[in-house]
Amino acid sequence: MTEIRLYNTLTRQKDVFTPADPNRVTMYVCGPTVYNRAHIGNARPAVVFDVLFRLLRHTYGENAVHYARNFTDIDDKIMAAAEAEGVPIETITKRYEDFYRADMGALGVQRPTYEPRATEHVEQMVAMIAALIEKGAAYAADGHALFDITKDADYGTLSRRPMDEMIAGARVEVAPYKKNPGDFVLWKPSAADQPGWPSPWGRGRPGWHIECSAMIEAHLGTTIDIHAGGLDLQFPHHENECAQSRCAHDGAPLAKIWMHNGFLSMDKEKMSKSLGNVVTVGELLEQGHKGETLRLALLMAHYRQPLDWNERLIAQAKAMLDRWYRVLEEGDFQVKNDPEIEATLFDDLNTPAAIARLSELARLRELDKLKAGGQLLGILTSDPDDWFGRLKSKTMVSTSSMGSPSIQVEGVKPEKMVSESVMRSPTITLSEVRWNEQILARTAAKASKNWSEADRIRDQLKAEGILLEDKPDGTTVWRRA
């Protein structure tokens, strides 16, 4: 079996992925707080770790991978939204859970094995908090229960920040009942008009961090193989999860591998609801963009790198898909293996390299390998089966491989086998498509530290009059020499 190597935030290196039990691979990704529609930045971890989910299923078997992604359905923002509408919180959470599933489904994201809700696990949270207090790692004060960060000798090992930096970065609430400024809330009291549950510390509701630890324990076990989420969750959320789980389980780690995807920006500024510079998945779909194109656009940068979201990125993804389809219409060939595609995905989900390889096969008109690549491209798409293999039976697929395919019966000719994702995107020429594919290939070469190949591509493009500009967020800018 080919080794899967994943960048582990905990060790700051690519580690060989070795599950504790190959027959029960466990993975958890922090899900949404359901009080409004997900923006495209929220979709990036859903798409990236859906690729990982599919890769693990491809490797260990469909039934061997146990993947949980939670819904946080009790939160001050949810309570504020419910109060503003004059409805129960369940009305808000059910509405936006449904929206989230629909929006992610449009991007080809599979449903996880488990989708636990915080409100359905309050009993487990109370039990874990009680265990922490009994072990001396937490304490009760003024209707609250708080974790004492001085009781965990390894606090800070995930984010690797000095204690004063962590305290400042956590934006901690100054409260007289705290023993230490960095202590975080496990349980807090609820007013009479707020949702609440009974506990040994009074009627209240759980803090955010304890939710994930309790749900992981309930569905996946004490120590899981992979824990993942956005880079913004590394501290304080994931650091606090590590600490409370470690102390609750007598030093056992919460996860062996921690993975974090990079930020999505819009016009070089981090996409954030608080800044107001967001575009939701729903808005993009309503504008006429296809989920298949949006998904490919999200995968065109390596997941650990920042990605700037703009119309040109979407247009490039659409043009690339269209090109693949035009090539695939040319004929039918025996399927051969193309190990390069698998190797790129096994190397820390190097989707830019996989996309570049598929584009190279399309350019070379190696249809047999391109179709074989489709078996693995299914890992990147909404269909885990051999999507391109359907062409062998002379069925036609009327949407591109990044969305949910619809099958056209033989004899009924579809309009044109291209995606129609971008209604109002910038015009992209065929030359620009090829240049972008070369940039993707160079990005992949740099990620693999293949500097000679990266230099070769740069020099080749320079000879064609294209100068590349390397920036912190990748080589996304080119201009004529």
What is the tens place of the pLDDT at every residue in 12-34?
A: 999 999 999 999 999 999 999 99
Closest CA to 226 of 444, 426, 26, 459: 26
Collect the ranges in the chain with pLDDT lower than 50: 169, 333-335, 383-425, 427, 430, 481
Ramachandran angles phi, psi of 444, nearest 5°: -65, -40
In a domain, 164, yes or no: no
β-bridge pairing 5-8 and 13-16: antiparallel
**pLDDT at 446 (0 to 100):** 76
First to last CA, the chain: 46
In this structure, the answer to whether residues 225 and 295 fall within a common structural domain is no
In a domain, 197, yes or no: no
SS3 241: helix
In this structure, the answer to whether residues 55 and 111 fall within a common structural domain is yes
In this structure, the answer to whether residues 452 and 368 fall within a common structural domain is yes
In this structure, the answer to whether residues 424 and 309 fall within a common structural domain is yes
In a domain, 43, yes or no: yes
Residues whose CB is less than 8 angstroms from the CB of residue 107 and which lie 6 or more positions away in sequence, other chains included: 43, 46, 47, 281, 291, 294, 295, 298, 382
In this structure, the answer to whether residues 258 and 293 fall within a common structural domain is no
In this structure, the answer to whether residues 381 and 471 fall within a common structural domain is yes
Domain of 376 in residue numbering reads as 287-480
Tokens 């990748």 correspond to: 474
In this structure, the answer to whether residues 249 and 387 fall within a common structural domain is no
**pLDDT at 412 (0 to 100):** 25
Q: How far apart are CA 166 and CA 54, in angstroms?
A: 35
In a domain, 229, yes or no: yes
In a domain, 152, yes or no: no
**pLDDT at 199 (0 to 100):** 98
Domain count, the chain: 2
CB-count burial class (<10 Å; 0-12, 13-18, 19+) for 24: middle
CB 242 within 8 A of CB 224: no
In this structure, the answer to whether residues 109 and 248 fall within a common structural domain is yes
CB-count burial class (<10 Å; 0-12, 13-18, 19+) for 115: middle
Q: How far apart are CA 260 and CA 257, in angstroms?
A: 10
Q: Give the residues across from 16 on adjacent strands.
A: 5
In this structure, the answer to whether residues 333 and 241 fall within a common structural domain is no
In this structure, the answer to whether residues 359 and 220 fall within a common structural domain is no
CB 298 within 8 A of CB 106: no
Residues whose CB is less than 8 angstroms from the CB of residue 461 and which lie 6 or more positions away in sequence, other chains included: 435, 438, 439, 467, 468, 478
CB-count burial class (<10 Å; 0-12, 13-18, 19+) for 344: buried
In this structure, the answer to whether residues 246 and 297 fall within a common structural domain is no
| Alpha-helical runs (H) found in 387-481 | 430-447, 451-463
Q: Tokens standing for 122?
A: 């309050």
**pLDDT at 176 (0 to 100):** 85
Alpha-carbon dihedral 456, 458, 463, 468, rounded to 10 degrees? 180
Q: Give the residues across from 6 on adjacent strands.
A: 15
In a domain, 474, yes or no: yes
CATH number at residue 135: 3.40.50.620
**pLDDT at 440 (0 to 100):** 72
In this structure, the answer to whether residues 260 and 307 fall within a common structural domain is no
In a domain, 222, yes or no: yes
Closest CA to 29 of 132, 116, 122: 116
In a domain, 186, yes or no: no
Tokens 């129609």 correspond to: 420
Quote the distance between the C-alpha of residue 377 and its chain's center: 17
